């Protein structure tokens, strides 16, 4: 995990510095003199050797110092920390929604293979996979807040505000989780030990919930883990649609105003959370399937 | 007699080639054919946009801004009074361009990296794979956003950014295909008769690892169009007069309360096109490699 995070920090560091556009030039503006630019470069530490710069960047990183926003002049860490809880809440609500609905639909579709429910839910899942998040958000807003007036369209002030953004953000993952659960269920349900369980006269409910589900869920857990990362990335679009004050919106604002320290900080944070979630998934694995420990 | 007749018939079937075989298998699946139809319509729209569009996509008329659909303007007019249908038809060109360039970048850089990594193995493989791991650790659209932040906004940069972020996926895919093929006897045979590395890679490894890459690029076309539209929606893509679906949606977003059609129709177009490529990609996967069937 640590090497990957170091790798990510190196990629972000390199991308921010190597690609065209001198930060000193951007900060100083087109009319700055060479002297002013040199001064800014010295201030930012840009006159030092790139390797030294990277180590300084890392040292600051471990001290929780991500620099200052060029747009607001506030420390990046504070900018992020005021916004991050909002994104976290939204992402958690979405993944919860996606897991509950996705797994339930997937199980029913898998157990009742080739039934009407199976066809219909898999068709809807396929549609859900191809749906642009931002368009779905707008359509939900059009229907449920503008036409019906059930939920507020924008903002993050009450529990009611989270419903539409969470559905929007979770729709794609619900579809993916439902498809994965179904195919995993179909695979497991044909195995011998399920036949054994049925043969010894266990109720179908017990066979499904105790025997089939536990094994079928293992690949589903990976998908849920991967989806968490995608959700954090997808949150960017959802947050813009619903004016949700999270880090996704912060990132877009920072990109549009060329606020590099904030871009760097947000990307680093999202990538780290993603890696962390996947580490948790790996640990969950060995809990769900003790065989994995010995591999 | 019977034997000789059988022998004559055989080559006739073979002559139709692998492409025909794939198409035949594809035609048996309704969903895949639906996907193919959508994709073909999309391609025709992009190619013949000037012939199909009822109006000039850039001609604006502030007097008619946000006008509802009429017979003359079947999908209504946008915030500058431009014909939405014409803009959607022209938008197909931009999406096709983005999709093709993104996939070309991914394949032209990703596949050689993956093939070399698998073929040479050892330290090369180790370092390349750690790099690929790290790039894959950026979830979804994030790497593309980071690159755009640095390259600046604009259509070219969107294509480069999304293209670069697909490189690790192709590298990983090509690597795993080649690893499987590398151990086959015909590769060993080629090596034993003294073929060069380049010859083995170009003549044996790449052609034989193509089918998963074809499937992946069809599915990627869907992702590329979706991501590019998303970036356009965020205002990071094309510059204003260009008709691009994501940017059109973004333009219509502000007027959703008074004129639903401005944001709705470009979104339907993105949705249907992405669905088409997804259906076709799924169908191709089943047709090209029955083992992967889900």
- Structural domains of chain A in order of their starting residue, each with its CATH number: 2-62 (no CATH), 76-288 (1.10.3720.10)
Residue B253 has what pLDDT?
Answer: 78
Q: Which of B132, B150, B278 to mutate to test the interface with A (most CBs of A within 10 A)?
A: B150
Q: Is some CB atom of chain A closer than 8 A to the CB atom of B219?
A: no
How confident is the model over A50-92, as pLDDT tens digits? Answer: 777 778 777 877 777 777 777 777 788 888 888 888 888 888 8
Q: What are phi and psi for residue B255, nearest 5 degrees? A: -105, 15
* Cα distances (Å, whole numbers) of residue B4 to A240, B7, B10, B13, B15: 71, 5, 10, 15, 18
| A234-285: pLDDT as tens digits | 788 888 888 888 888 888 888 877 777 888 888 888 888 888 887 887 787 7
pLDDT mean across residues, chain B? 78
Residues of B in contact with A142 (CB under 8 A): 256, 260, 264
> Is A102's pLDDT higher than 80?
yes
The per-residue pLDDT for B12 is 47
Which chain B residue has its CA at the smallest distance from A227's CA?
A: B139
Cβ-Cβ contacts under 8 Å, A134 against chain B: 230, 233, 246, 249, 267
* B254 to A235, B57, B238: CA distances (angstroms): 19, 20, 18
Instruction: From chain A, pick out residues whose CB is under 8 angstroms from the CB of B281.
Output: none
Q: Contact A108/A125 with Cβ under 8 angstroms?
A: no
* Count of A-B CB contacts under 8 Å: 134
| Distance from C-alpha of A104 to C-alpha of A81, rounded to nearest angstrom | 35
Check if the beta carbon of residue A251 is closer than 8 Å to that of residue A263: yes
% of residues, chain A, pLDDT over 90: 1
pLDDT of the residue at B237: 75
Tell if the CB–CB gap between B150 and A135 is shorter than 8 Å. Answer: no
**Which residue of A126, A135, A149, A187 to mutate against B (max B Cβ within 10 Å)?**
A135
What pLDDT score does B22 carry? 72
**Residue B121 backbone class (left: φ over 0; alpha: ψ -120 to 50; beta: rest):** left
Segment holding B214, helix H or strand E: helix B210-233
* Residues with pLDDT less than 50, chain B: 1-2, 4-6, 8-14, 292-294
Q: CA torsion A259→A265→A266→A269, rounded to 10°?
A: 180
DSSP, collapsed to helix, strand or coil, labels residue B77 as strand
Tell whether the torsion through CA atoms of A36, A42, A43 and A46 is positive or negative: positive
ipTM > 0.95 for the complex: no
Q: Quote the pLDDT of residue A293.
A: 59
User: Which stretch of DSSP H or E encloses residue A153?
Assistant: none
Helix (H, G, I), strand (E, B) or coil at A158: coil
Give contacts of A130 with chain B, Cβ < 8 Å.
222, 226, 271, 274-275, 278
- Residue B139 main-chain phi, psi, to 5 deg: -70, 140
- Cα–Cα dist A131/A147, whole Å: 21
| Strand partners of residue B83 | B77
Q: Which residues of A touch B226 (CB under 8 A)?
A: 130, 132
Buried b (16+ CB within 10 A) or exposed e, A90-122: bbebbbebbbebbbebbbbbbbeeeeeebeebb
CA distance B192 to B185: 10
pLDDT computed for residue B2 by the predictor: 47
Instruction: Return d(Cα A286, Cα A46) in angstroms, integer.
Output: 46
**What pTM did the predictor assign?**
0.79
- Closest Cα of chain B to A99: distance in Å? 19
Residues 116-155 of B with CB under 8 A from A: 130-131, 133-135, 137-142, 145-153
Q: What is the mean predicted confidence (pLDDT) over A147-174?
A: 79
User: For the segment A207-232, what is each residue's pLDDT rounded down to a tens digit?
Assistant: 777 777 777 777 788 788 778 877 87
- List, for residues A127-157, the tens digit of each pLDDT value: 888 888 888 888 888 888 777 777 777 776 7
pLDDT for position B153: 79
């Amino acid at each position: 995990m640590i090497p990957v995070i170091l790798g990510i920090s190196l990629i972000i560091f390199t991308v921010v510095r190597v690609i065209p556009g001198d930060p000193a030039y951007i900060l100083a503006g087109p009319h700055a003199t060479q002297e002013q630019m040199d001064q800014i470069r010295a201030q930012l530490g840009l006159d030092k050797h790139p390797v030294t710069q990277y180590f300084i960047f890392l040292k600051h990183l471990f001290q929780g110092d991500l620099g200052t926003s060029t747009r607001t002049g506030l420390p990046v860490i504070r900018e992020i920390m005021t916004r991050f809880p909002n994104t976290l809440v939204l992402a958690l609500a979405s993944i919860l929604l996606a897991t509950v609905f996705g797994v339930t639909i997937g199980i029913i579709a898998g157990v009742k293979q080739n039934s009407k429910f199976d066809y219909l839910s898999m068709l809807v899942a396929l549609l859900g996979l191809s749906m642009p998040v931002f368009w779905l958000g707008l359509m939900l807003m059009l229907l449920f807040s503008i036409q019906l007036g059930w939920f507020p369209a924008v903002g993050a002030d009450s529990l009611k505000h989270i419903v539409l953004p969470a559905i929007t953000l979770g729709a794609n993952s619900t579809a993916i989780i439902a498809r994965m659960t179904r195919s995993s269920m179909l695979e497991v349900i044909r195995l011998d030990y399920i036949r054994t369980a049925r043969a010894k006269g266990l109720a179908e409910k017990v066979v499904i919930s105790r025997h089939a589900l536990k094994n079928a869920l293992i690949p589903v857990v990976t998908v849920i883990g991967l989806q968490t990362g995608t959700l954090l990335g997808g949150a960017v679009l959802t947050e813009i649609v619903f004016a949700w004050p999270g880090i996704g919106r912060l990132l877009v604002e920072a990109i549009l105003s060329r606020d590099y320290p904030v871009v760097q900080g947000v990307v680093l944070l999202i990538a780290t959370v993603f890696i962390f979630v996947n580490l948790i998934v790996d640990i969950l694995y060995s809990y769900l399937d003790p065989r994995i420990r010995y591999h | 007699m019977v034997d000789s007749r059988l022998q004559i018939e055989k080559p006739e079937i073979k002559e139709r080639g692998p492409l025909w075989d794939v198409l035949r298998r594809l035609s048996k699946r309704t969903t895949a054919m639906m996907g193919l139809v959508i994709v073909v319509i999309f391609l025709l729209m992009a190619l013949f946009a000037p012939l199909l569009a009822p109006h000039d996509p850039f001609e604006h008329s502030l007097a008619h801004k946000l006008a509802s659909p009429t017979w003359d303007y079947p999908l209504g007019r946008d915030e500058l009074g431009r014909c939405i249908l014409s803009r959607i038809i022209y938008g197909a060109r931009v999406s096709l361009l983005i999709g093709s360039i993104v996939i070309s970048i991914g394949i032209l850089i990703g596949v050689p990296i993956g093939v070399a990594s698998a073929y040479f193995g050892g330290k090369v493989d180790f370092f390349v794979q750690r790099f690929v791991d790290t790039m894959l650790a950026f979830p979804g659209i994030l790497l593309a956003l980071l690159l755009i932040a640095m390259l600046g906004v604009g259509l070219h940069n969107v294509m480069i950014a999304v293209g670069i972020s697909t490189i690790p996926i192709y590298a990983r895919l090509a690597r795993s295909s080649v690893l499987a093929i590398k151990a086959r006897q015909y590769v060993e045979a080629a090596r034993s008769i003294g073929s060069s590395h380049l010859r083995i890679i170009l003549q044996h490894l790449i052609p034989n690892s193509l089918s998963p890459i074809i499937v992946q690029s069809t599915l990627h076309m869907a992702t590329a169009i979706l991501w590019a539209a998303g970036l356009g929606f965020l205002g990071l893509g094309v510059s204003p007069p260009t008709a691009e679906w994501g940017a059109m949606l973004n333009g219509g977003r502000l007027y959703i309360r008074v004129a639903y059609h401005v944001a709705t129709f470009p979104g339907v177009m993105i949705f249907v096109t992405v669905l088409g490529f997804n259906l076709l990609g799924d169908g191709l996967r089943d047709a090209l490699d029955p083992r992967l069937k889900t």
